[in-house]
Amino acid sequence: MQSIIDAAVKAAGGNVELVIANVEDPNLVVSFGCFGVKPNRFFFYKTFAALEKNVLFINAPIDNWYTEPLPWFSTNSIAESFEGFANLVNAICRLYGFSRVRLFGFSMGGHGALLYSSAKNFSVPVDCIVVGTNTPLNLPKTISLRNYHLISEGYGVTDISDIDFGVVGRKYAIVFGEFDVSDAYSGLVLRRLLGSKTEIGSHIGSTHNIPVHMTNTMGLAYGMEKLLNLDLDFPGRGRIADVLTEEDLEPLPYFSPTINQPEEIAYMHELVRRYPQYAFGLNRIGAYLHNKGDLNGAFEYLQRSWEIAPNNENTNHHLSLVFEKKGQLDSAFAHALLAKKALSSPVNVNRYEAVKNKIVSSVIYV
């Protein structure tokens, strides 16, 4: 069994690492790396170390969203790769006496964890916990679609619904940000595909804000421990999965990129009426009114969105512009700073510098 493990680690060329931190712990965590992670670098490595978890870290050798076989498991088919992976996990469990496996993934890694959870030959019970899915991959406005040129259609895994999740008894926990339309829609689709063993939890902000929010409130290690135990009571939890349906969200990925058409905004009004805490819907209505020059209407909806999800960079960016147009430079600067802290993009950095310079100029002039 040790030789099987050593061979797989060696063949992976830095994309696989096994860390045994606590032989008394009966659980093995398998952590799938996300987009852009390099060989010998593994996401959440320090967090799992702080928790003293036994972890098998896996990265895809290229950012193909795990839709091609991992070559150290198979070079023939994705199905073979799933089973080769399960054989490695089984060998580790037999060697160390682990009695349960928890597959974990964030963003692209969540997609990988879901795909590999479909392996049929695991010898121990399996849980699958994902934060963000970006699937189905062919939905508009997804990170995965923007990198679709990296994804091969030769193995038939360009949509998660192509996968047979027929194995019973596996538990799933899927977490997504309500600001990410495709993640939210896909989460509800997966609840239908995976059945009654699936728990869904949404965050009022964006998917990638979830670890940051955990870090700033309960601590990332504690939050991760809860997730691994399928406990989805985390800070900022939303209720979209309790209020809106898969059919309600289905039109959203096909709206215009900024949801700026009158009929789209009318639909967002209906969703916000049914789910008043839908910060994304409030943001889109506010941004639409801002672009139409209705500063008072824009402020009303953007402020409501901000009160629910104060760390969203787009809401803060629009509020900064609205406050500046209203002549309230201090508030404009505060929101420009929040937008820059949330996402240090050229647009947000330039907005921050512009408001700062305007304040400095006004003080010097006085």
The pTM is what? Answer: 0.91
Cα–Cα distances (Å) from 48 to 33, 44, 64, 269, in that order, read 13, 6, 25, 42
d(CA 189, CA 135): 9
d(CA 82, CA 98): 20
Q: Are strands 16-19 and 55-58 parallel, antiparallel or unpaired?
A: antiparallel
The single-letter code of the amino acid at 314 is: N
Other beta carbons within 10 Å of 136: 21
Q: Which CATH number describes the domain made up of 249-365?
A: 1.25.40.10
pLDDT in tens, the chain (366 residues): 788 788 888 999 999 999 999 999 999 999 999 988 888 999 999 999 999 999 999 999 988 888 889 999 998 888 899 999 999 999 999 999 999 999 999 998 999 999 999 999 999 999 999 998 776 666 777 766 666 666 666 665 667 777 888 777 899 999 999 999 989 998 998 898 888 789 999 999 999 889 989 999 999 999 999 999 999 999 999 999 999 999 999 999 999 989 999 999 999 999 999 999 999 999 999 999 999 999 999 999 999 999 999 999 999 999 999 999 999 999 999 999 999 998 899 999 999 999 999 998 876 654
Q: Which superfamily does CATH assign the domain made up of 2-248 to?
A: Alpha/Beta hydrolase fold, catalytic domain (3.40.50.1820)
Cβ neighbors of 364 (< 8 A, separation 6 or more) are none
**In the chain, domain spans:** 2-248, 249-365
Query: Which tokens belong to 250?
Result: 């289905």
